Structure formats: C-alpha cells, structure tokens
A and B are shown apart, each in its own frame.
Chain A
Amino acid sequence: MGSKSSQGENINHFNAIRMRITGAGNLKLRFLSYDEVITEDLVDLILEATTNKEPTRLSNFKQQRAQLELKTTLKNETFKVNRILIFVKPMFTSYPG
C-alpha cells in the first residue's frame, strides 16, 4: 500500500489485487486514474457463493493514485466483499518538471 497519508506523489505500479469475496456472477474489475483519464479492465472474477480461496488478479496499472472499481452488470448478480489487498510498488518519484 502507499503511504498512510499524502506525503508524496510517487508514480506507483499497481500490479495485483487479492480479495476475500463471495457472490454470484461475473465481477468486473477496473482500475481508474484521477478523473478516469486512464483505466484498465482486469480479467473478470467468477464469483461463488462459498469459497476457500482468495483469488488474485494481476494488473499493470501505473499511476500516481488509482481507484479500484468492482461491478456486476447482469440481473441477479451479487457480490459481498470482506477484504481487498492491492499490491503496489513505487516506481518513480515524480513526472519531469
């Protein structure tokens, strides 16, 4: 994870997510930058009512800050999230001045 507070504007590499999630249907995963200028759709996650796994989805999203969106799009699809892990590694300190 990034810093506890906004102490820097490093350019980070959001490279994976892992979640404890149950439900039904296909979960749409997407990273979004500020103002949704840049987005990246991840591979859908097939939801199960019960599971013993916390699946991981890889990503390759490089932004200073990012937002993760979870969404279903079909009738009777549901999801319940208990925990989200987002793997982030700082890559650069700033854009060229």
Chain B
Amino acid sequence: MGVLFFKFATVAVVGSRLDPGVPFSTGWWAGTPGVSTDQDLIDNINNITPYSNDTNPFSGNLTFELDQNTPIFQLDGGSFLSFNNLPAGFMIESANITFLGNNIDTPLYGTVQGIITGTTLANYNSGAAVTSFNSGSIDLCQGVAKTPLAFLALNVKIIFNYPPAQPPGNFHNAAYHFNIVSATYSSPNSPITITGSGGFKLAGAGYNIYYFVGGDSLDGNIGALISGAATVESNEFISGDGTSIDLEASSGTGVQFNGSFPFMSTIITGSGGILVSNTGADENNLVLSTDVSGLYILVPGKTNDTIYDRNDPLNITTTVVKIPDPYIRTAFLGG
C-alpha cells in the first residue's frame, strides 16, 4: 500500500442552505458557486461568513469532476499521473477529508457530517464546544477500496449542524476549510514475475508480450508463447546475442510492465546423455549430465582408478581414487 496524493484539477461545488428562503450560494460562500477550482473551493469554505445568530444547519455537496488526462495522482511522491496512466487494478484504499476551523478565539459548536450516496459517515465532531474542528477526519472510502473512477464520481454531501441548545452565532463565527490530508492506494502485482532462473511468468492471460534483445528495436512478439501462468524461460528466445532481454507487457489499458532480466547461464554438452524413460509421455526425456562417466582405459601396472571431472568441458580435471577393496577368496576347504 502506498501513499497517494490528490491534486484535483476541477471540483464542482453545489450547495444549498436547508433554509429554502436563503440560497446556499448567497452570502454563504464567498466565491462563485458551481464549477470552480479546488483552490476556489478551499477559499470558499475558508471564508464562510454566515449571518449571525443563525441556527439553521446548512449543507453543500462536493463532487470531483473526472479529468482523465490531467496528471492529478501522485504515487509515493513520484511524478503526477493522469487517470489513463494509472496501473491496471489501481485502487484507492482510503482518503481522509478533514475540516478545519481556524477561528480559535470563539468556541465552536455543532457537528460536521458527510453523506455519500445515502451513507452517513461518522460525525466529524461530537457537537461539544471545541476551539477547532481539526481533531479528526472522515474517510471517504469507509473501508471499501474504490477505483479512481468510482472515487471521482463520489458525491459527498457535507452537513454543518448547529445544536439548538448552544448559543446562536458561535458556530457561524468560525471559518472552515477542508482538504484531503491523507490517502493510500494499492496496486495489483506486476503482471510479470521474473524468475530466478532467467525466465518470467505472467500473472494471467490477456497480455501481449514484446521482447527486445540487444537494443531498442522490436525483435518480436512472443505472446503466442504465453499461456496463463506458464513460465517462459529465457532459452526460448532464439534470437539476439545480448546478455539480457528487455520485456514489455501490454494489455488493453496500455503498457503494464517493462523491465529486463539476464539470460540464464546454460551450458549444454552433447557428449553424453541418459535416456531416462522410453515409455509414455516421457519417451523423449533425454537428460544430459555434465559429469558423465567415461569408459575404463586399461593401463598396465595401474593400481588405482581415475575419475574425469567434466563439469567444466573446457578444463577437464582428473581425480585418482582407490580401486574399491580388491580381494580374492579361496574355495571352501576342509570336510
């Protein structure tokens, strides 16, 4: 799970006071109601100038207009990405919105509630007199991870309630602003897992795999080799003379992975082998051993055995060992 930072390109502010006689946008929001920038929204809420002695609650709806091409998502402090550049499966795990009252001279009363599509979120403030509304936050995700599209389509209704039992005017003397102060995200595993033996495997089907060997030129599409989570070893790439392979996986939503891995070190010697099975599906299962034994060479006067170490075909070494306990036995004598 990573840290997500939002930079909203545009925010729609639609507000209405519950008192039908006074439009929410008149005198309550200093800025221009309707579509505005995020800074406008913050400025508006920052400068609430309600009528004094007003005890009516008021509310406003916050929506985030989706802009698919403007980079507004920042993942773990990296560069900003647009919606279209987010990795497939990207999910917003949490997004805490907070309301800050910044007039500490006057006690504040009331509660701040958030309502998302009929779900009432926890009160931001219990209603007790506090000097600021900065002691908590409301998670817009409420424990349910949302896709960026679903998140940006949220319509959050914010209600400022004034408790009738409190002295009029105190609540509205405060000034507020809100912001998303923290957010987290999760991303699915990479569609490609590089294996330690010099190969890779896919998390699933549905990707086109392109490989590049020894440069940036497109050498081939090996998508036909991929089947689900099957492992593809580097020795299946028959072209190229480099020591590594660059791989790129793409699906319908763009490039999902690009990276490289080295060719595994493979030495195949053709000097020997063992046919380990001659029946069934394994009838062609030929095993090549790097230390196959050679034939004995009879040497007059030789009193030991010599083992040839063929692990390094270019530098064969020998080891002298004893002949395993040579012995003779007579026939049974006596009777």
Interface residues in chain A, defined as those with a beta carbon under 8 Å from any beta carbon in chain B? 1-3, 5-10, 12, 14, 24, 28, 32, 34, 63-78, 81, 84, 86, 88
A77 and B329 contact, CB distance less than 8 A: no
The answer to whether B327 touches A70, judged by C-beta atoms less than 8 angstroms apart, is: yes
CA distance A78 to B304 in the complex (A): 10
- Report if A72-B326 is in contact (Cβ < 8 Å); known contacts: A64-B335, A65-B334, A88-B334: yes
Q: Is the CB of A86 within 8 A of B333?
A: yes
From B322, B329, B334, give the contact of A76 (CB < 8 A).
B322
- Contact partner of B335 among A7, A75, A78, CB < 8 A? A7
- In this complex, which of B304, B326, B333 has the most chain A Cβ atoms within 10 angstroms of its Cβ? B333
Q: Is B119's CB within 8 Å of the partner chain A?
A: no
Assess the B326–A67 pair: CB atoms within 8 A: no
Contact indicator B327/A1 (Cβ below 8 Å): no
Looking at the assembled complex, report how far the CB atom of B330 sits from the nearest CB atom of chain A, in whole angstroms: 5
State whether A75 touches B325 (Cβ < 8 A). no
- Contact assessment for A71 and B327 in the assembled complex, using a CB-CB cutoff below 8 Å: yes
- Cα separation A77 to B323 with both chains bound (whole Å): 9
Kindly list chain A residues whose C-beta atoms are within 8 Å of the C-beta of B304.
75-76
Chain B residues near A32: list those with CB within 8 A.
329
Closest partner residue, chain A, to B321 (CB atom): A75
Chain B neighbourhood of A69, CB < 8 A: 327-330
CA distance A64 to B334 in the complex (A): 6
Q: Name B157-191 residues within 8 Å CB distance of A.
A: none
Given contacts A10-B334, A28-B327, A78-B303, 12 further A-B contacts (CB under 8 A): A7-B335, A9-B335, A10-B335, A32-B329, A64-B335, A65-B335, A67-B331, A67-B332, A67-B333, A71-B327, A75-B320, A77-B322
Q: How distant is the Cα of A67 from the Cα of B329 in the complex, in angstroms? A: 7
For residue A71, which residues in chain B have a CB less than 8 angstroms away from its CB?
325-328
Q: Across the interface, do A74 and B322 meet the contact criterion of CB distance under 8 Å?
A: yes
With beta carbons under 8 angstroms apart, the residue of B321, B323, B328, B333 that contacts A2 is B333
Q: Which residues of B contact A75 (CB under 8 A)?
A: 303-304, 320-323
Contact residues of B between 294 and 335, Cβ < 8 Å to A: 303-304, 320-323, 325-335
Interchain CB contact (< 8 A) of B303 among A76, A84, A88: A76
Chain A residues lying within 8 Å of B332, measured Cβ to Cβ, are 34, 65-67
